[in-house]
Amino acid sequence: MGTSAIAVSTALAGCQSSTALTVELLQNSVPPQMLRQFRQNLTRGMTLNFVPQPQLKDLFDLLQKGQPSRQTQTAKPASTTADLVMLGDYWLAKAIQQELIQPLQPQFWQQWNLLPQKWHNLVKRNAQGQLDANGDVWAAPYRWGTTVIIYRKDKFQALGWTPKDWQDLWRDQLRDRISLLNQPREVIGLTLKKLGQSYNTTDLNSVEDLPSQLQQLHQNVKLYDSNTYLKPLIIGDTWLAVGWSTDIPSQLQRQYNLGVVVPASGTVLWTDLWVKPVAVSQSTAADTADQWIDFCWQPEIAQKLSLLTEATSPIVVGLSPAQLLPEWNNHPVLLPNASILDNSEFLLPLGSETLEQYRRLWQQIRLKIG
């Protein structure tokens, strides 16, 4: 889920040294300008080894394949030697439950209190990976994005309106013109949102109109795809797609006459996080890892990384208008207004019984439409 990369990433290494900070991350998620600036503040001889991976799922797989258990400390084959790993919030609960990562120490972060409470709450978990206000801090939020509506401006100009919110997906004019993510939580979730419910509703059976609303929506669906959904939109096979904000950079929007809107009633928030593999011990590199996390949260740096990667640092949300760079006026998708953010939600871990409800309903609707 979330940030699929488009271009090749970069890595930065300093002079040869026995002391190195190794970071496994999503390609294109860290601008090289930031790495150069960070390295200027390091002790001479410290090496930065930033290793890019093509997908967030690859990073979770590295943790799964390589880390020893906290209880047994039994090594698994092909373990990663990274001091930090980037992880999508979707995998955070699983990483905690499977004992792949260890709690972090926010007392070492000068900027921690600048993060909005929504992100504090996201990363405080118990040992089962569930939200817990008194739990440990298991991750450091790096940047976030949203699930958005992407549409062909020329097609909607002919219709005389543009999409603004989830309810627009149900219009008769869009019959067989929509592509949706092949994700039950996303599709059922946006339907719940349209009905005034939460993305994290735990009893789908209590939402009486949900199956009929889903069936009606699916009459407008041409395809389900989570990877190449932009291609049919670009060639005109579809007029509207639901996708992730980082998949549609400004250059792509201009090139193909695409409009992007964050639904007014709220949407899904996803967050890329820094986590520490369970095998990492306190060391010079571990100290540097904390410095890196804190560096990314400096207000000026946070704004630059947001604009360069087209995914927003959580620090930006808490800045005053006077602190924001003028460029933010041109980026309503990168920084939606406060009311939209207040109504938006992270996809939180659900119990097995609830997940089974989502699976059954998804299967039922998909089988009906073929």
Which secondary structure element, helix H or strand E, spans residue 142, and what is its range? Answer: strand 140-152
Question: What's the number of CA atoms in the CB half-sphere (13 Å) around residue 204?
Answer: 24
Residue 14's pLDDT band (cuts 50, 70, 90): very low
- Does residue 285 lie in a domain region? yes
Q: Are residues 140 and 152 in the same domain?
A: no
On whether both 212 and 252 belong to a single domain, the answer is yes
Under 8 Å between Cβ of 276 and 84: yes
Q: Residues 289, 173: one domain?
A: no
- Does 64 share its domain with 189? no
At 207-252, the pLDDT tens digits run 999 999 999 999 999 999 999 999 999 999 999 999 999 999 988 9
Q: Residue 370: which pLDDT band, with cuts at 50, 70 and 90?
A: very low
Judge whether 90 lies within some domain. yes
Indicate whether 118 and 158 sit together in one domain: no
Domain co-membership, 125 together with 35 = yes
Q: What is the C-alpha separation between 211 and 362, in angstroms, rounded?
A: 9
Parent domain of 318: 20-144+269-334
Q: Residue 185, Cα to own-chain centre: how many angstroms?
A: 14
Do 242 and 357 lie in one domain? The reply is yes
Spatial distance between the Cα atoms of 121 and 208, rounded to a whole number of angstroms: 31
Confidence of residue 175 (pLDDT cuts 50, 70, 90): very high
Which pTM was predicted? 0.89
| 136 and 159 together in one domain | no
CATH number, residue 263 = 3.40.190.10
200 and 307 share one domain: no
**Residue 163 tokens, joined:** 């999409």
Q: How many domains does the chain have?
A: 2
